[in-house]
Chain A
Amino acid sequence: MARLQLKNVVKSYGIHEAVRGVSLDIDDKEFVVFVGPSGCGKSTTLRMIAGLEHISGGEILIGDRVVNRLGPGQRDIAMVFQNYALYPHMTVAENIAFCLEQQRLPKPEIAARIAAAAETLHITELLERRPAQLSGGQRQRVAMGRAIVRNPKVFLFDEPLSNLDAKLRVKMRTEIKRLHKLLPTTTVYVTHDQVEAMTMADRVVVMNRGIVEQMGEPQQLYLAPASKFVAGFIGSPSMNFLPARLVAEGDALHILLDDGTRLAVPAARAATLGRHAGTAVTFGIRPESIGPRQDRPGWAPLDAAIDLVEPLGATTMIYFNTGSSSLCASLNSEGAPKAGMTMPLSINMTQMHLFDPQTERSLTA
């Protein structure tokens, strides 16, 4: 049971800074997911929390204790590795017992705790097997068994599902969540998969190039991304970005796209954006915020010459060009157009996002 704090944590490899000042405050029992593209420093941050990497700068606190100088064995954490890292020469039971033996617990207690952990994870009948005799999903469970049996302050997961096939991944995803409900423990979970992040997290930390772009609840990241990077990373398919200008006409504001299309900004949002009038902006709109033509306040019309149609079952993705940019829209499959057709569309401008083209920070969040 512990709060986990990172204060301006830095990791450099020679002159290369892999993590450039990460500050986080993770509550007791919270399930936090680090997400970001490959190489952004997620694993490095996690490994600094675990004590597997030396911390180049800043402070890490578990509970109220600064752990910078503690070895991984003294931090009271448990970690599940991407390739599970089960000891191949030991049985499942011995794998799970190993950490308890290091704590010099009495034999009967070790046996009882192994039995309880095995029960929780439904691996009781696997206890006498060796890792080589297990399937990927079973190994995953054993790795989690090894983590929960010691009842640590913090659970760390580094892309634990990336070696499983798609179906099993979805199943294990829900099981990890279920386990967290059952044994509420502070958890940091690293993934590059934004769907995993959105579905599992209490709060998501989006990382990019060694910094935290944004931390927040999944829905908040989706609705109010703080930067163009977060907006593009969270949500599938990705948000559309178009170069544009914000122009004022009397009290009203318009988005002027580079092909001359004018999209009216709803009055409710115009108030806060007025000070950016006359500047270049990046206009962002999610595929879900574009629909068939409708005559409602807040929706702006747009005609689309459809290039490509991708039916996905319930929804259909359509692709079309506006000026120099390609756009994607997600429509209900009923009444979806065919490629080559021109279709009258509308954009839900209440859900638009604007970004500063230089800093890429959001002007609307």
Chain B
Amino acid sequence: MTRPAPALAPAATSGPSVTDRLGYSAYFLVALLLAIIFLMPIVWSFANSFKPAAEALANPVALFSKAFSLENYRRLENVGAGWYVYAANSVAIALGTVLLTILISVPAGYGFSKFRFPGQSLIFMVVMATMMIPFQSILTPLFLVLKILGLQNSLFGLVLVYTTFQLPFSIFMMRNAFDAVPGALIEAARIDGASQWTLVRRIMLPLALPGAATVAMFAFLNAWNEFLAALIFLSDQTKFTLPIMLVNVSSGIYGIIDWGALQAGITLTMVPCILLFLLLQRYYVRGLTAGAVK
């Protein structure tokens, strides 16, 4: 009772107890199982995309094939205008959406967070309320608007549509990111003689970067994966995006599905998303929890 320290010391050096290790092993197994369940579709797509077309069709379950082949990818070149045209369209639309979303949501979030103006909470509520409107329900009016603007069948028109639907969440995200920057930091910078512009560039933006990364990431993924609006608003073969290409591959000629080419297309579509996620993940996780803990 008088000397708890020596009694504890040997226990601490002998490592975790048997039950601890059992618990850890069980946890590890469950996690591994879940990871496999989630990763298998990706691995299968990836594996099949590199098989010869016939083998991909005959034996899709096998993960490994003796014959490594780029045949599926070559066949994608013959789908419509060729996969690289669709990939380029998708990249242009996704990056355009990211750029426009960031350009608008960062200043908007800053404004909502750090300035007080009449009608502020009302405007913010209206912006947030648009999140409640299902995208699909206003496709027709959107189509009409784009037609009037002469932007139907245009990649830029689609970027505008995607940005519009990306903004409520993004503004909300950026407002929270700027809210999380303590007021005293801003005051310290003002006393240090920073101009409004220096304040934003040197203090606010670096601190809100996780939020901005999250916003960019969601904008990219949503624009990259979106199918319905792209299908409706784009009518030129040369303007289609990757998701539309995938449908065209899978509905193939004579209704026969070319599984190999489809997996190749899916792999091409997934890779940028996975890379982006891995690249931004440390920001992304911090961004989602920003302001949750102080």
Contacts and interface: CB of A to CB of B under 8 A. Distances in A.
Interface of A: 50-52, 71-74, 77-79, 81-83, 85-89, 98-99, 102-103, 146, 150
Interface of B: 182, 184-185, 187-195, 198, 202-203, 206-207
Given A52-B187, A89-B207, A102-B198, A83 B182 contact: yes
Contact of B203 (A50, A83, A87, A150): A87
B202 A85 contact: no
Nearest to A71: B190
B192 A85 contact: no
Contacts of B189: 87, 98
Contacts of B207: 88-89
B202 A98 contact: yes
Nearest to A97: B192
A73 B191 contact: yes
- Mostly, the A contact residues are loop
- Mostly, the B contact residues are helix
Contacts of A78: 191
16 contacts: A51-B190, A51-B191, A71-B190, A72-B191, A74-B193, A77-B191, A79-B188, A83-B182, A85-B182, A85-B185, A85-B187, A88-B185, A88-B207, A102-B192, A102-B193, A146-B192
A99 B188 CA distance: 9
Interface-central residue, B189, B195, B207, by most chain A CB under 10 Å: B189
A287 to B, nearest CB: 39
A73 B190 contact: yes
Contact of A89 (B184, B190, B194, B206): B206
Given A50-B191, A73-B191, A83 B206 contact: no
B113 to A, nearest CB: 17
A148 to B, nearest CB: 13
A84 to B, nearest CB: 8
A71 B195 CA distance: 10
A73 B193 contact: yes
A87 B185 contact: yes
Given A98-B202, A102-B198, A85 B184 contact: yes
Nearest to A150: B192
Nearest to A88: B207
A88 B191 CA distance: 17
B187 A99 contact: no
